[in-house]
Amino acid sequence: MNITRINVGPVHPSTHGVIRLVVDLDGDTIVNVEPHIGFLHRGVEKLAETRMYMQIPPYTEKLDYVAPMSYDEAYVATVEAAMGIEPSEPAKYARTILLELQRIASHLLFLGTLCNDIGQMFTVFMWAFKDRDMVLDLLQEAAGSRMFYVNMRLGGLNQDLPPSFAEHALSLMDYMEKRVFEYEKYIEKNPIFNERMKGVGVLSRDKAKELGVTGPVLRASGLNYDVRKANPYYVYDKFHFNSKTLQDGDNYSRYKVRMLEMQESIRIVKAAVRAMPEGSAKGMPVKLRSPVPPNRISIVNRELPRGECLMYMVADPQKPYRLSIRSPNFINLAAIGSLARGARFADLFAILGSLDIIMGCVDR
C-alpha cells in the first residue's frame, strides 16, 4: 500500500468553516481522514463564567450561526430550569413555531450548499437560498432581525408575535410544502446526484450508535431517536408528527431524512399556529428576575437541526459557575473517518456536506 498524505484546508470552499482535514490516500481511495479543529474557537463556555445570565445569549447564538435561535432557546431554557420558571402556554407555542421555522431555514441552507459542493445543480443552490430568505423574512417579522435574534427571554419571548404573523406563516408553509416536493422531484431524478450520494459514506446502525452521532445523521442509519419525541418539551407532545428514519446510512439517506424533516416541520408549524392560545408570549421584565440559587444544577437537552444539544449548568446567583455544552456538530464530525474510509477522494466533500457541519458549534 502506497500512502499519500494531503491536507484539505484549513481554508477550503467546501469545508463550511475553518477546518483542516488530513487525508491519507492509497491512489484515489481514502484510507483515513483525521479532522483538525480549533481554528474557529469561540470560548463560549469560558466566557459564560464572566457574564450575567442574560448577557450570554448573544454568545451562544454564534455557536450555530445557521440556526442561532435554536442555541438561544436551549440556553435560556437551561436558565429557566435553574430558576424554576415555566413559560406561559402562548410562549410554549410561539417557541415551538419559531424553532421549527429555524429548522426549515437550516435544512434549506444544507440543501443548497450540498448541491453546490458536489458540483451539480447550482440552480438548487439559488432556489434554496431564495426560499430560505422567505423563512428569514418571517423570523425577522417575529424577532426584528434576520440572523442573530436574541429574542428568547426568561418565561417567553422578547416581544409578542405580530398580529399578521399567523396569516403569513400559514401562507409560507403552504408554499414551502409544494416547494419541498418540487425539490425532491428535481433532484432525485438527476443521475449524477444519485451516483454521488447513494451507497457513498455509509454509516451502519451499530457504528452510528457506537460513535454517539445524533440528529439526521443518526436517523439516516436506522436509529429512531429524536429528543422532541423521546423527551418532549413545550407543545411537541400535543401534535402528531413522525420522526423520520431510513436504513441505508449513506449520503443519500442523510439528504433524504432532512427533506422529510422539513415536511414534518411544516406540519408542526401549521398545527401550532392554528392551535396557539390567546395571551401574551412575552417573557419576564428585568426587575422581576430573581437570583438563581447557588450550586443548583440544571440540564436541558434539545433537538437542534443538526442533532441533540445538551446544556449542563452549575449556577451562581448572578452568572453561571460552569456551563458545559454537548455539541451535535462535534460528535457528528468525529464520524467522518468511519464514513470516508474506502471512498474515493472526490466523494470526500459530498460526505462532509451530508454531515452538515457548522464549525462554530464544534469549536465552542
Q: How high is the pLDDT of residue 290? A: 65
Write the CATH number for 300.
Answer: 1.10.645.10
pLDDT, one tens digit per residue, over 18-66 is: 888 999 999 889 999 999 988 888 889 999 999 998 899 999 998 988 9
Helix (H, G, I), strand (E, B) or coil at 313: strand
Smallest CA-to-CA distance from 162 within 179, 148, 142 is with 142
Work out the average pLDDT over 213-233: 95
The answer, yes or no, to whether residue 253 has pLDDT greater than 70, is yes
120-126, Cβ contacts within 8 angstroms, sequence gap of 24 or more: 120/190, 120/192, 120/193, 120/196, 121/186, 121/187, 121/190, 121/193, 124/183, 124/186, 124/187
Cis peptide bond N-terminal to 10, omega within 30: yes
Q: How high is the pLDDT of residue 168? A: 96
Q: How high is the pLDDT of residue 359? A: 86
For residue 13, name the pLDDT band (cuts at 50, 70, 90): low
For residue 119, name the pLDDT band (cuts at 50, 70, 90): confident
Q: And the C-alpha cell for 312?
A: 449542563
The answer, yes or no, to whether residue 287 has pLDDT greater than 70, is no
Number of domains in the chain: 1
Work out the average pLDDT over 233-247: 91
Under a CB-based contact definition with an 8 Å cutoff, are residues 120 and 135 in contact? Answer: no
Name the average pLDDT for the chain.
91
Q: And the C-alpha cell for 26?
A: 492509497
Domain range for residue 67? 3-362
